[in-house]
Amino acid sequence: MKQFLMIFRNRTNTADENFSKQQMQTAMKEWQDWIASIAAQGNYIGTNRLFPEGKVIQQNVITDGGFIEGSIMVAGYLLVKATSLDEAVEMATKCPNLVYGLNVEVRSVMPIEYDVNSGNFLDIK
């Protein structure tokens, strides 16, 4: 099995500002059920939500960041196992938050093994 990263993007605070408490609870339950279905198939590795605040570091420049374009931000990520990109994309199409304006980018992960004792990369696949 290969690893794939789902990168979730959303407009800043859309859900938080426009949803009632009940709508937020419903959306969270749908999200949790979706993650549970991925885990039940043995494909879940990990997920995290990201705070909107961040910094973008470039050579000699540090700016406020977290935004891709305008008010679009990276909202979080999900790391999964799948046999192919197509299988990972199929998982992503079932994301319940797509109906709320979230979009998902699916990328293949290139595993790199690093030995902290020697400071060397052991295997780049």
81-116 confidence digits (pLDDT tens): 999 999 999 999 999 999 988 899 999 999 888 888
Query: What pLDDT does residue 69 have?
Result: 65
Query: What pLDDT does residue 64 have?
Result: 78
pLDDT tens digits, one per residue of 2-31: 999 999 998 765 555 677 889 889 989 999
CA–CA separation, 5 vs 18, rounded Å? 28
Query: What pLDDT does residue 91 have?
Result: 98
Listing DSSP states for 23-38 in one string gives HHHHHHHHHHHHHHHH
Residue at token pair 């304006």: 101
Query: What pLDDT does residue 51 have?
Result: 84
pTM, two decimal places: 0.83
Count structural domains, the chain: 1
Q: Yes or no: say if 24 and 97 are a contact pair by the CB < 8 Å rule.
A: no
Q: Stretch 62-80: mean pLDDT, rounded? A: 80
Domain containing residue 69: 2-124
Residue 100: CATH number of its domain:
3.30.70.1060
